[in-house]
């Protein structure tokens, strides 16, 4: 009898997804807890259907440039944290960053992601001039992922031409956030995400799956937080333990749990861009990203950082593709995507939320998702 009630509850939740009804925290907890293979296949098929309807079949490529591994923060999970004395630090000169952007553009990337630790040596003036030159000299969208700055600095960078900003919060559980971020404030992080939206950025954020102390209920609330923040991009990847952090010895997050959260993030957010992360490929090199693309993801971020720096940007150990040149990465990931029967986007991959708001729902759904 209990089993029948559970089956009935699950069918009711799947029916909600079919009819595009809102899912509650309790619904999400139930789905995150799924272990039966047939139920998971049903969930993933539904998520893939939502992905196809709302963001289409195109996969968007973002060329990732990790330009500095200096960081003023001391987050407990991160390999480039300030307290890691064993890491060799580097900063790419501005001209070298530009040369890498040119290479990315030549390889066909329509977006570059400029990512670093919170390295204040790069001032707002430095970064604004860099962004202006990129926009003048190449035809790419610019995403920044440089951590916490003042609102005035975010405004200056947006005025210089930056299109998007990525700022992850890693967990919406306030207590867990404070345990993992000894020198960061939860409310400040959330306030900055609001600022970025108000300024005009396309805003990305995300969480790690499998953090020590994280619960299924936390993950359900994370997914609801994505919707509340109206994010344009949501990054969901497994936690991978780094031995030079206070969390040394903890188990990694799992690919399976990450897939469930990706699928549910697609179902709940619908239009958000969702990457198939490098961390997934690190834990499952053969098909980690490919599987994610078949259950809700629609973005891949190949690394175009010069090879001499890649191993030094060690957020977590054993990252894939650290010895491949940018041309090799582009060819490899392109082939993997095409093998799934999915086309690679030739557009910038701008926010679908912004396009929806500009056009209205009826007109938007008639258009190709360019």
Record the tokens describing residue 351, joined without a space: 């926010």
Q: Classify burial at 362, counting beta carbons within 10 Å of its beta carbon; exposed 0-12, middle 13-18, buried 19 or more.
A: exposed
335 contacts: CB under 8 Å, gap ≥ 6: none
**What was the pLDDT predicted at 141?**
98
Radius of gyration of the chain (CA): 20
Tokens 């040119």 label which residue? 102
284 contacts: CB under 8 Å, gap ≥ 6: 255, 291
**What was the pLDDT predicted at 178?**
98
Task: Give CA–CA dist 289/336, Å, rounded.
Answer: 9
Is 28 in contact with 34 (CB distance < 8 Å)? no
Is 142 in contact with 112 (CB distance < 8 Å)? yes
**What was the pLDDT predicted at 175?**
98
Domain map (residue ranges) of the chain: 49-365
Q: What is the CATH topology of the domain spanning 49-365?
A: TIM Barrel (3.20.20)
**What was the pLDDT predicted at 365?**
42
Is 243 in contact with 317 (CB distance < 8 Å)? yes
Task: Give CA–CA dist 70/121, Å, rounded.
Answer: 9
Task: Give CA–CA dist 359/111, Å, rounded.
Answer: 23
DSSP annotation string for 256-300: HHHHHHHHHHHHHHSSSB-B--HHHHHHSTTTHHHHHHTTT--EE
40 contacts: CB under 8 Å, gap ≥ 6: 34, 260
pLDDT in tens, the chain (370 residues): 445 667 788 999 999 999 999 999 999 999 999 999 999 999 999 999 999 999 999 999 999 999 999 999 999 999 999 999 999 999 999 999 999 999 999 999 999 999 999 999 999 999 999 999 999 999 999 999 999 999 999 999 999 999 999 999 999 999 999 999 999 999 999 999 999 999 999 999 999 999 999 999 999 999 999 999 999 999 999 999 999 999 999 999 999 999 999 999 999 999 999 999 999 999 999 999 999 999 999 999 999 999 999 999 999 999 998 888 899 999 999 999 999 999 999 999 999 866 666 555 444 444 443 4
DSSP annotation string for 199-220: HT-EEEEEEEES-TT--HHHHH
| DSSP 8-state symbol, 251 | P
Task: Give CA–CA dist 255/295, Å, rounded.
Answer: 13
Q: At what angle do helices 216-229 and 255-269 cross, to 10 degrees?
A: 30
Record the tokens describing residue 26, joined without a space: 């309790």
Phi and psi at 133, nearest 5°, equal: -70, -40
**What was the pLDDT predicted at 357?**
62
CA angle 182, 183, 189 (to 5 degrees): 105
**What was the pLDDT predicted at 370?**
40
Record the tokens describing residue 194, joined without a space: 């609001």
Instruction: For residue 144, give the 3-state DSSP assignment.
Output: strand
């Amino acid at each position: 009898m209990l089993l029948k009630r559970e089956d009935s509850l699950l069918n009711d939740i799947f029916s909600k997804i079919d009819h595009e009804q809102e899912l509650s925290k309790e619904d999400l907890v139930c789905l995150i807890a799924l272990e039966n293979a047939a139920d998971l296949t049903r969930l993933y098929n539904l998520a893939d259907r939502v992905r196809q309807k709302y963001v289409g079949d195109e996969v968007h490529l973002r060329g990732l440039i990790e330009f500095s591994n200096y960081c003023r923060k001391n987050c407990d999970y991160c390999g480039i944290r300030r307290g890691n004395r064993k890491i060799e630090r580097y900063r790419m000169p501005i001209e070298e960053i530009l040369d890498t952007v040119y290479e990315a553009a030549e390889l066909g990337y329509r977006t570059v992601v400029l990512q670093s630790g919170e390295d204040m040596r790069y001032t707002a003036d430095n970064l604004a001039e860099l962004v202006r030159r990129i926009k003048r000299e190449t035809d790419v969208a610019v995403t920044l992922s440089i951590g916490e700055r003042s609102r005035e600095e975010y405004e200056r960078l947006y005025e210089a031409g930056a299109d998007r900003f990525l700022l992850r919060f890693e967990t919406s559980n306030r207590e867990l956030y404070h345990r993992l971020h000894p020198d960061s404030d939860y409310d400040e992080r959330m306030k900055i995400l609001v600022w970025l939206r108000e300024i005009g950025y396309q805003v990305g954020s995300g969480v790690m799956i499998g953090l020590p102390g994280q619960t299924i209920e936390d993950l359900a609330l994370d997914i609801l937080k994505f919707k509340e923040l109206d994010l344009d991009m949501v990054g969901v990847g497994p936690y991978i333990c780094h031995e030079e952090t206070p969390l040394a010895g903890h188990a990694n997050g799992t690919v399976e749990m990450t897939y469930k959260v990706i699928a549910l993030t697609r179902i709940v957010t619908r239009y958000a861009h969702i990457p198939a992360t490098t961390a997934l490929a690190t834990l499952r090199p053969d098909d980690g990203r490919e599987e994610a693309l078949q259950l809700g993801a629609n973005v891949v971020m190949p690394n175009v950082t010069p090879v001499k720096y890649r191993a030094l940007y060690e957020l977590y150990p054993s990252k894939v593709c650290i010895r491949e040149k940018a041309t090799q990465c582009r060819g490899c990931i392109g082939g993997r995507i095409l093998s799934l029967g999915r086309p690679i986007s030739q557009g910038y991959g701008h926010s679908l939320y912004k396009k929806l708001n500009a056009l209205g729902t009826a007109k938007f759904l008639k258009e190709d998702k360019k």
